[in-house]
């Protein structure tokens, strides 16, 4: 159960990665930084944006394959939030930049899990 943070200097975002925290623990963290609370009821993972902050939350569970698949899913959302906020259009002609960004976010998060 942890909260890890890392910055993406290229796009100016700060990422907050929650693993295994309860909804109450996540919302306490959000209240402390004056962000809107979030409802996690029934979720196994989610991702959201608040200005230049991206939050990724995963419910901890013992099956690492499932956890990695959920992380991949949430990183896709995080990548799209960054792209939209920075005016990067999602299309086949610019997929390399987004693929590298997605890989970078995923690698940062996976290092925090393993």
Quick: pLDDT tens for 70-113: 899 999 999 999 999 999 988 888 789 899 999 999 999 988 87
Whole-number average pLDDT of the chain: 89
The pLDDT value given to residue 1: 67
Rounded to two decimals, the pTM is: 0.89
Looking only at the bridges linking them, the beta strands covering 45-50 and 13-19 are: unpaired
Residues 6+ apart with CB under 8 A from 105: 8, 15, 75, 78, 79
Confidence band for 69, pLDDT divided at 50, 70 and 90? confident
Statement: residue 62 has pLDDT above 50: no
Interval 36-49 mean pLDDT: 85
Residues 6+ apart with CB under 8 A from 29: 3, 16, 18, 21
């Amino acid at each position: 159960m942890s909260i890890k943070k890392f910055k993406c200097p290229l796009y100016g975002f700060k990422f907050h990665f929650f693993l295994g925290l309860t909804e109450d623990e996540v919302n306490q963290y959000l209240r402390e930084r004056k962000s809107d609370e979030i409802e996690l009821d029934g979720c196994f993972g989610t991702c959201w944006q608040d200005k230049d902050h991206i939050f990724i939350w995963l419910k901890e569970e013992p099956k690492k394959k499932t956890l990695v698949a959920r992380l991949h899913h949430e990183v896709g959302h995080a990548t799209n939030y960054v792209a939209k906020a920075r005016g990067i259009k999602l299309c086949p002609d610019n997929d390399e930049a987004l693929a590298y960004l997605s890989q970078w976010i995923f690698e940062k998060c996976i290092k925090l899990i393993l």
